[in-house]
Structure 1
Amino acid sequence: MYDEIKNFMFSEIGNRIKSKKEEYGFTNYQLAGYRNKADYEGHQKDSETDNKEDRQLRYDKYDLSIITNIVNGKFYPAKNPNLMSDSILSHLTQKLKFTTEISLLWGDFENSNFPQVLFEKVVFDILYSGNEKQKAIINDALIDYVPYAEYHSYWQMFIVGEIEMPKFPDSKFTISSSFYQIKEDEILEQYELTQKNAIKYFFYKHNESLLSMIRGFLRDEFRTDDGYSLKKIDKKISILLSRFMNYFKKNIPNDDSLGLRVRSIIISDFKKFGTLISKDLSGKQAQLELSELTQKLLVESSFAYITNLKRVQKIESEIINGNKF
């Protein structure tokens, strides 16, 4: 559960530990409490007479394989599902001279871009692994970003068929995007790109509130009476996910949204344009009627309007607010 999110969080922890390890010249053997490889191998001979707990208490040693996993930011359900135990967290904090356990876990999260990247990872994970209701809520919020409003609409119309579109004459098949002068490869490429930028745009637009929420989560949810802990991390990630979903629900764009305006135009005009294409393909009409020609011109003018709305949002975001995409 939440493997991609944990991979990111644990990888960042591993990188911080690895950096300190290199700074002080420690080996994994030394982090595990041994002097060197020979010392480690010598202690393994006691395994026939001592159990694991006895060796831990007697020699203050730690499982080398788990230490290696931690340094590499890797977790395995059978060995270290939460990356590291509380005792190892305390040990590595002191051994590597981190100022606090929270600085080992999250670094300088009050001043770094870690909260933003965590937000992007969590939202992206929901969009690809969450349930349909969660996906719909997030997409409704992300639609405020004009390029995503455009390509999400194309995606629904031509790739996954979530929006019903006109069909080929005497056929059950939807008229493909190429008849609208839009390449399918372009939709596939731009959909992922604009989706990522839409997530960034949402974060920038709600920067203060989201930063406060994420920093508070990192500061408070991992705190214990004795320090900090990664135990029950799945439950903790669920808490963050729930907070994000509630925030998205409260910030669905209204009728003033440029993105919503673009989406409405695209869906309405493309349905009408598709009907014209279907008539033309049927060969039952020698030429378009005046009203149909007018409609075609209106649809073509919509593309210019959408381009202008993109420009307006770009100016607002990049020049006024200083956020670049």
Structure 2
Amino acid sequence: MGLEAPGVEMSLPRVAILDDYQGLALTLADWSGLDGRAEIVVFRDNLGPLDAAVEALAGFDMVCLMRERQAVSRALIERLPRLKCIVTTGVWNAAIDLEAASQRGIDVFGTSNGRGQRATAELTWGLILALARKIPAQDVGMRAGAWAGAPGRMLEGAVLGLVGFGTVAAMVAGYAHAFGMKVCATSRSRMARELPSHVKLMEPDRLFEAADVLSLHVRLTAETRGLIGPRQLRRMKRDALLVNTARGPLIDQAALIAALQSGEIGGAALDVFDQEPLPPGDPLREVGSNLILSPHMGYVTRETMADFHRQTRDVVAAWLNAGDPSSLAPRLA
């Protein structure tokens, strides 16, 4: 509910901006309006394990999150007695224990998704093209002095399989249609008549068997964790390509590595991982050129990040004024 009314003697409230990997928070948004009203501290790197996060955040009244880069668990909340408000980018954040926050009386607000969904769809399509035409491998070969690398494949006439059909998947389906692909999807919440005319609804097992490119677009839940495992990978074509810009644990990582190394599938591109940032020694970093890795850049564009940081600033300013930021951003707790 904001801080004490003006006139009450107190130190400046402290606001932590977390996981600003590219150093964009204070350049894409003008925070000067909070000069003299709050101390703004930016953390460029992920805070790491629980004890390290507690030590870093113990003195803060507000914490601003960039999507789900930092988990805010019950254990963390219970060890931050000064924390009064959390602002997350996006309309939901599965990394926040909302029940624990509510029980503590901590306000939680989320910004809009901005242009993040369109940005994610664009990156998904970029990864599909990079896999199909082996663009990263061609670049590496050229820099090593080679000229003609292994040929890629065309997308026209190929089958794109979409696991889930929400906003991002619908955008990707539009790109695929423009490229002349056949688009199929599996969805638990949509009927065939609700899909665009260029998208065919299909049962999951049939989708895995039919897809030349399989792209994941479902939320991570207890039910979807490990959705793509050894059984599903065995059903896929030997030259099929798998793309994940949704959530890392949707795929059994060990099973994927085995499938890529044995040639059970043709290739994969991952923008999301079980642990983020991906540890330097993670086995995924050792897989060959049939795996493309991207550091969770789906929503990360200049435009989207500007939207996120400006909306976060506006919510922080409203809360510091002891106002109700819910007119600017939805209240999550």
Q: What is the TM-score normalised by the length of structure 2?
A: 0.22
Tell me which structure has the larger Cα radius of gyration: 1
Hey, which of these two has a bigger chunk of helix by percent?
1
TM-score of the aligned structures, taking structure 1 as reference length? 0.22
Kindly indicate which of the two structures has a greater share of residues assigned to strand. 2
